[in-house]
Structure 1
Amino acid sequence: MRLIQENKSNVKKTWQVIKNICNLEKNIRSPTELIQNSTQISDVHNHFANVGRNLAQNILERLKTNENVLLKVYKNDNTDPSNSLVLLPTDKGEIKNIVLCLRTLDQCNCYTLINSTHLKYLGVTIDQHLRWDEQIKTLSGRVRKLIYIFKGLRHIKDTQLLKSVYYCLGQSIVSYGILGWGGAGKTFILQLERAQRAIIKVLLSKPYLYPTNRLYNDFEVLTVRQLYIKTTTLTQHRLPCDPSRVNIRRCDVVYKTPKYRTKFSHKFFCFLGPFVYNKINKDLNLMSMSTFSCKQLLDDYLKLLDYDNTENLLAVSS
Structure 2
Amino acid sequence: MLMMVFSYADDACICYVGDDWESTFTLASNDLQTIYNWYTSMTLQLNLDKSNYMTFSITSTGQPPEQLTLTIPLSDNQTTTLQKLTSTRYLGIILDQHLKWSPHIQTLQTKLRHLMHIFSNLRRVCSKNILRMVYHALVQSLLQYCICSWGGAYTNAINPLKQNTENYLQHKDRQFHTKTLRSLLDVFPLTDIYMYKMTLYSIKYDHLWPRQITTYNTRRSRQDLVQIRRVNKSLAQRHFYYLGLKLYNIIPQNIKMWKERPLLLKLKTQEFIKQSDLTIEKLLPMT
TM-score, length-scaled by structure 2:
0.62
**Which of 123, 127, 147 is the matching residue for 1:178?**
147
**Identity between Structure 1 and Structure 2 (%):** 26
**Which of 226, 243, 248 is the matching residue for 1:277?**
248
Q: For residues 261 and 244 of structure 1, do their structure 2 counterparts lie closer, same or farther at Cα, with a shift above 3 Å needed?
A: closer
**Which of 236, 257, 274 is the matching residue for 2:228?**
257
Q: Which residue of structure 1 lines up, in the alignment, with residue 49 of structure 2?
A: none
**Which of 299, 307, 312 is the matching residue for 2:270?**
299
Higher helix share: 1
Instruction: Please identify, of 224-233 and 138-147, the stretch whose mean Cα deviation from structure 2 is larger.
Output: 224-233
Measured after TM superposition, the shift of residue 301 of structure 1 is 3.3
| 5+ residue gaps, structure 1 | 1-33, 36-43, 45-106
1:139 partner SS? helix
Structure with larger Rg: 1
Higher strand share: 2
Q: Which residue of structure 1 lines up, in the alignment, with residue 32 of structure 2?
A: none
Q: Distance in 2 between matches of 1:258 and 1:209?
A: 37
Q: How does 1:108-127 map to 2 (within 5 A)?
A: 113-127=82-96
1:145 partner SS? helix
Q: Paired residues, what number?
A: 208
Q: Which residue of structure 2 lines up, in the alignment, with residue 133 of structure 1?
A: 102
Q: Distance in 1 between matches of 2:245 and 2:256?
A: 12
AA paired with 2:231?
Answer: Y
AA paired with 2:188?
Answer: L
Q: Distance in 1 between matches of 2:184 and 2:236?
A: 36
| 5+ residue gaps, structure 2 | 1-64, 68-75
2:167 partner SS? helix
Q: Which residue of structure 2 lines up, in the alignment, with residue 74 of structure 1?
A: none
TM-score, length-scaled by structure 1:
0.57
AA paired with 2:150?
Answer: W
AA paired with 1:133?
Answer: S
Q: For residues 122 and 267 of structure 1, do their structure 2 counterparts lie closer, same or farther at Cα, with a shift above 3 Å needed?
A: same
AA paired with 2:229?
Answer: P
1:262 partner SS? coil
Matched-pair contact (CA < 8 Å) for 1:276–1:313 = no
Q: Distance in 1 between matches of 2:98 and 2:210?
A: 37
Matched-pair contact (CA < 8 Å) for 1:144–1:198 = no
**Which of 185, 205, 217 is the matching residue for 2:183?**
217
Matched-pair contact (CA < 8 Å) for 1:254–1:287 = no
Q: How does 1:138-149 map to 2 (within 5 A)?
A: 138-149=107-118
Q: For residues 159 and 272 of structure 1, do their structure 2 counterparts lie closer, same or farther at Cα, with a shift above 3 Å needed?
A: same
Q: Distance in 2 between matches of 1:276 and 1:317?
A: 15
Matched-pair contact (CA < 8 Å) for 1:279–1:313 = no
Q: How does 1:153-192 map to 2 (within 5 A)?
A: 153-192=122-161
AA paired with 1:154?
Answer: R
Q: For residues 187 and 243 of structure 1, do their structure 2 counterparts lie closer, same or farther at Cα, with a shift above 3 Å needed?
A: closer
Q: Distance in 2 between matches of 1:273 and 1:279?
A: 10
Measured after TM superposition, the shift of residue 237 of structure 1 is 0.8
**Which of 184, 187, 195 is the matching residue for 1:229?**
195
| CA RMSD across the alignment | 3.0
Matched-pair contact (CA < 8 Å) for 2:179–2:189 = no
